[in-house]
Amino acid sequence: MMIIGKKDFFSYKYERYGFAGLGCTDSSGAPKSFKSLSDSPTNCTLAFDSNTVGQFNTHLEDYGGCAHGYVYFKPWYFDWYSLRLKDHPLKTTTHPQYGFKDVPVQDRAEACRMDAEEKDECAGANYYTLRTTGHSVKCQCGVGVQAQPLDAPHTMTCLLKSKPVADITAPGALKKAVPHVPGYNGDITMKKPGIKSTFKMSTNFTGCSKGWWHITGDQGWSRRLYSPDGSKGLLLNTGSYVPTYKKKGGWSVLPSECAKYAKALKDFPRDARWPNPKGCKGALGVMMNGVGTLHSGQPQDRCKCFWPEDWNKLDMAEVSTYAYPNYGETLHDNGNRDMWVCALDDDDPTGGDDVYPIPDSSGVVSPDGPKPKPTCTPIPALTLASASSSNLGGQGPDLDSAEGIRFSKVGKVKDVDIDLKLTSAGPYTPFKAGVNGLTGSLGTVNVQAGTKVDVGFSLVESGTDTPVAVDGLSLMFLDVDEGKRGRQRSTVTACDAVVELDDSTELTTSQSGSCTSVSSSKKGSSKDNPTSPENLTNVQKAKVVTFKYGTGAQFQAALSVAESPKSPTGRNFMFSVGILCDE
C-alpha cells in the first residue's frame, strides 16, 4: 500500500529555517541558541506549563499543523513502530520494521497519524511525532506542553487534530500497552508538584519565609557555592527518607518543600555516612536553579544546601540582582548562571509561599508579577442585552453581516469578555427572520413550520471568533408550546447533555442513543410568554427545559417545528444561556 504525501502536510520552511519569523534564526537561516521561556517578544522554545496545553496546540496550528521539533515536556507518551507501510514500493528490505529510509517523510508521517487515530493508547493525546531519520517508522503520541526547535531536525511533531482535547491523566498514563511497547513511559518530572511554579520574591538575602533572592553571576559561581572543594554537594531532591519530614526529597519541586526538607535535615551533617542521611547541619541557606542555569524550559529543581563559609567567599561584586519572573531572560552576560537563594530560618515552618503564574496568550508570564489562576465563576444567565448582528444561515435581516447571530459582551470567563455566537449547521428556513435576536432578555430563533435547524451555540472572545472553553454550559429553552391539536409542535434535541424539567412540566421526552428530544404537548398563548429567565410563573415553568453540557466552547441543539396544514407559519424558540463550573 502506498500513501500519497500531501504537499502541504507540514511546513517545509522548518526543514531549512527553523522557527522563521520568531527571531530564532540568524541571517543565513541557521538556528540560534534556544533559551527558555522569555519575557521578550522572542520565544524560541515555546515553553508552557501544564495549565496551558492549549498553547502547544495553538502553536502547531499556526505553523501548518506540524513542525520540526522535539516535545520537551510530556506528562505521558506512547511509542510504537508503524508497520502500515510494509508494502511501500520504496522499502528496501523484507523485514517489516526496517528499510524505510527512502520512503518520503510525508508518507511516514501520514502512517504515524493514521496509527495514532486508531490506537486506543493514543486516546486523549494532542500530538504525534515521527523520527525523520533512520530505517524505521518510529512514532509517538502523547500529551505535549512544550515544543523545542532542533539544530538537526530529526523529529517532526504534529498536532493530532482529531483529538483536540488533551488529557494529562489518561489513558497512556494509566495503563501499560498490551503487548508492552519499549519506550512506553511518562515524564516523571511533569507530574511533580511545583512544575513551573515561581518564588515568593525578596530584593535581598533573607529568610525563606520572607522570600527568595534571585541572583546571577559567572558560569562557575554557583558551583563554587554549592561544592567549593569540587566534590559533589548535597542534592536534596535525591535525598533520603527523613522520619520527621515523612517523605523522601525529590517528590516535589516547590520552593517551599525545598526549605522544609532542608530544615528536616538540620541535625544531619553534610558528610554523614550511611545509614544516616547526608544533611544540612550548620547550613546557612538553600538554593535552587534559575532559568539561566537550567536546560531550556525546565522547571526549577536541584534543591541544595550551602554553608556560611562558602557564602562568605563569594564575591558579591560579580553577582547581580534581577527582577521577576524566575524563568524570564536574565540580564547578564551569555554563559552566566542564576540561582534562587534564601536563608534557613525558623520564623515560618512552611518555608515560604509558592506562587503559580499563568502565562498570557503568548505563553509568557507577565514581568509585572504572577497572576493567580482565575477560578471558575458560575453565571446563571449570560446578559443578552443586544444582538450586534443577526444573519442566521444567511437569511437576514442583517444580510451584510457575517453568517450567524452574535450577542456582544454577554459576560466574563476567567476575566475575558465573551460574546455568544449562534450559527446554523446545514439549511435554515425562518418564517420571520426579523424576529431573530432578542425577546426581552431572552435570545430568540424563529423556525418555519415543517423544518428543522441545527444551531451551534459558541462562546468566543469578544469581537473575535477565538473559542473560550468553559467547564460546562446550561441552555434553557422557554415557552416550548404548539398550536391547536398538536399543529406546529415544537421540539428541541440535544446530545450528550443532562436534561432538567420542572416537576410540573407538560413537556414530553424521547431518547435516541445519547440524544434527548423534548417536545411540546399543549397549545400556547402569547399571554404567558416570558421575557426573562427569572421570576417565572408556574405556567411558564411547565414549558421550560434545561440542557446541561460538559466541558467545551461550542454546544449543539436541534430546533424543529412540525408541519402546519395551513399557510406557512412558524414558532419562536426563546433561550437563556448560563456558565457551569466543576467546582
Would you report the helix, strand and coil content of the chain in percent, each value rounded to 5? 15, 30, 55
Q: Name every residue whose Cβ is closer than 8 Å to that of residue 207 and which is 6 or more positions away in sequence.
A: 342, 343, 344, 345, 347, 348
Q: How many CA atoms lie within 13 A of 264 on its CB side?
A: 21
Nearest-angstrom CA–CA distance, 108 and 101? 10
Report the pLDDT averaged over residues 228-257. Answer: 75
Question: Is residue 42 within 8 Å of 33, Cβ to Cβ?
Answer: no
- Among 5-9, 160-164, 487-491, name the most confident range: 487-491
**pTM attached to this predicted model:** 0.44
Look at residue 105 in the predicted model and tell me its pLDDT. 81
Q: Taking the domains of the chain in order of start, what are their residue ranges?
A: 13-191, 198-355, 387-580
Cα distance between residue 444 and residue 433, in whole Å: 10
Least confident of 11-20, 344-353, 457-466, 518-527: 11-20
Measured in degrees and rounded to the nearest 5, phi and psi for residue 524 equal: -100, 175
| Rounded average pLDDT over 387-399 | 94
Lowest mean pLDDT among 14-18, 380-384, 433-437: 14-18
Asked if residue 572 has pLDDT above 90, the reply is: yes
How far apart CA 300 and CA 255 sit, in angstroms, is 8
Judge whether residue 95 has pLDDT over 60. Answer: yes
**Who wins on pLDDT, 47 or 190?**
190
Mean pLDDT on 59-84? 73
Whether residue 430 has pLDDT greater than 60: yes
Confidence of residue 176 (pLDDT cuts 50, 70, 90): very low
- At 533, list the grid cell: 429567565
Q: What order of strands is seen across the sheet that includes strand 472-478?
A: 437-439, 442-448, 570-580, 472-478, 545-549, 498-501
Q: Classify residue 86 as exposed, middle or buried by CB count within 10 Å of its CB (0-12, 13-18, 19+).
A: middle
| 388 has a pLDDT exceeding 90 | yes
Which alpha helices (DSSP H) does 29-78 contain, by range?
53-62
> What is the average per-residue pLDDT within 550-558?
92
For residue 544, count other CB atoms closer than 10 A to its CB: 23
In this structure, the number of other CB atoms found within 10 A of the CB of residue 70 comes to: 16
- pLDDT attached to residue 226: 72
Cα-based angle 186, 188, 193 (whole degrees, multiple of 5): 130
The band of 331, judged by pLDDT with boundaries at 50, 70 and 90, is very low
**pLDDT at residue number 368:** 40
The mean pLDDT value for 488-517 works out to 94
User: Most confidently modeled of 23-27, 121-125, 134-138, 173-177?
Assistant: 134-138
Instruction: Kindly tell me if the per-residue pLDDT of 241 is higher than 70.
Output: yes
Q: Cell numbers for 154, please give them.
A: 530529526
How many whole angstroms from its chain centre is CA 377?
19
User: In residues, how long is the chain?
Assistant: 583
* pLDDT number for residue 147: 65
> What is the DSSP secondary structure assignment for residue 467, as one 8-state letter?
B
pLDDT for 351:
54
d(CA 72, CA 150): 11
Residue for grid cell 495514532: 116
pLDDT at site 310: 86
CA trace torsion 410, 413, 416, 418 (10° rounding): -30
Q: 498 or 331, which is more confident?
A: 498
- Residue range 359-369: mean pLDDT, rounded: 36
Measured between alpha carbons, how far is 355 from 198 in angstroms, rounded to an integer?
A: 5
C-alpha cell at 362: 503568548
Convert the pLDDT of each residue in 133-168 to its tens digit.
Answer: 788 898 988 877 666 666 556 788 888 866 555 555
- CA-CA distances (angstroms) from residue 459 to 316, 425, 445? 53, 16, 17
Dihedral sign, CA of 273, 277, 280, 282?
A: negative
Most confident residue range from 210-214, 220-224, 496-500, 579-583: 496-500
pLDDT band, very low/low/confident/very high, at 195 (cuts 50, 70, 90): low
**What H or E segment, with its residue span, contains residue 112?**
helix 105-118
What's the pLDDT score for residue 118?
87
Q: Is the dihedral of CA 79, 84, 85, 86 positive or negative?
A: positive
The predicted model gives 412-434 an average pLDDT of 92
Mean pLDDT in residue range 500-511: 95
pLDDT at 407: 96
Q: What percent of the chain has pLDDT over 90?
A: 30
Mean pLDDT of 535-558: 94
Residue 275 pLDDT exceeds 80: no
pLDDT surpasses 90 at 96: no
Mean pLDDT confidence for 290-303: 60
Q: Please answer whether residues 285 and 207 qualify as being in contact, where contact means their C-beta atoms are separated by less than 8 angstroms.
A: no
Q: In this predicted model, which residue has the larger pLDDT, 466 or 71?
A: 466
For 583, counting Cβ atoms within 10 Å of its Cβ (0-12 exposed, 13-18 middle, 19+ buried), the class is exposed
Residue 473's pLDDT band, with cuts at 50, 70 and 90, is very high
Long-range CB pairs of 95-102, under 8 A, 24+ apart, other chains included: 97/136, 98/135, 98/136, 99/135, 100/135, 100/136, 100/137, 101/134, 101/135
* DSSP string for residues in 366-384: -TT---PPPPP--BSS---
| 395: its cell numbers | 437569511
Peptide bond into 380 cis (omega under 30): no
Work out the number of other CB atoms within 10 angstroms of the CB of residue 482: 21
Closest CA to 3 of 83, 97, 106: 106
Question: How many CA atoms are closer than 13 Å to the CA of 228, on its beta-carbon side?
Answer: 11
Inter-CA distances, 270 with 222, 235, 413, Å: 18, 11, 51
How crowded is the C-beta side of 7, counted as CA atoms within 13 Å? Answer: 0
Helix (DSSP H) and strand (DSSP E) numbers for the chain:
7, 31
- Listed residue (526, 517, 524, 518) closest to 502, CA to CA: 518
Q: How many other C-beta atoms can be found within 10 angstroms of the C-beta atom of residue 525?
A: 10
- Do residues 356 and 52 touch, judged by C-beta distance below 8 A? no
pLDDT classification of 55: cutoffs 50, 70, 90: low
The pLDDT of residue 303: 85
Mean pLDDT across the chain: 75
d(CA 446, CA 461): 26
262-271, 395-404, 464-473, 552-561 — which is least confidently predicted? 262-271
pLDDT bracket for residue 416 (50, 70, 90): confident
Distance of alpha carbon 396 from alpha carbon 96, whole angstroms: 59
Question: Distance (Å, rounded) from C-alpha 118 to C-alpha 125?
Answer: 12
Q: What is the pLDDT of residue 453?
A: 96
Tell me: pLDDT of 122 over 90: no
Question: Do the Cβ atoms of 42 and 31 come closer than 8 Å?
Answer: no
Report pLDDT for 148: 64
Q: What are phi and psi of 113, to 5 degrees?
A: -65, -45
Closest-CA residue to 547 (of 501, 507, 497): 497
Q: Is the pLDDT of residue 344 over 90?
A: no
Cell 534562587, residue located: 340
At residue 327, does pLDDT exceed 50? no
In angstroms, rounded to a whole number, what is the distance separating the alpha carbons of residues 139 and 155?
A: 10
DSSP β-bridge partners for residue 459: 420
Residue 530 pLDDT > 70: yes
Mean pLDDT is highest, among 176-185, 307-316, 446-455, for 446-455
DSSP code of residue 402: P
pLDDT > 70 in the chain, percent: 67
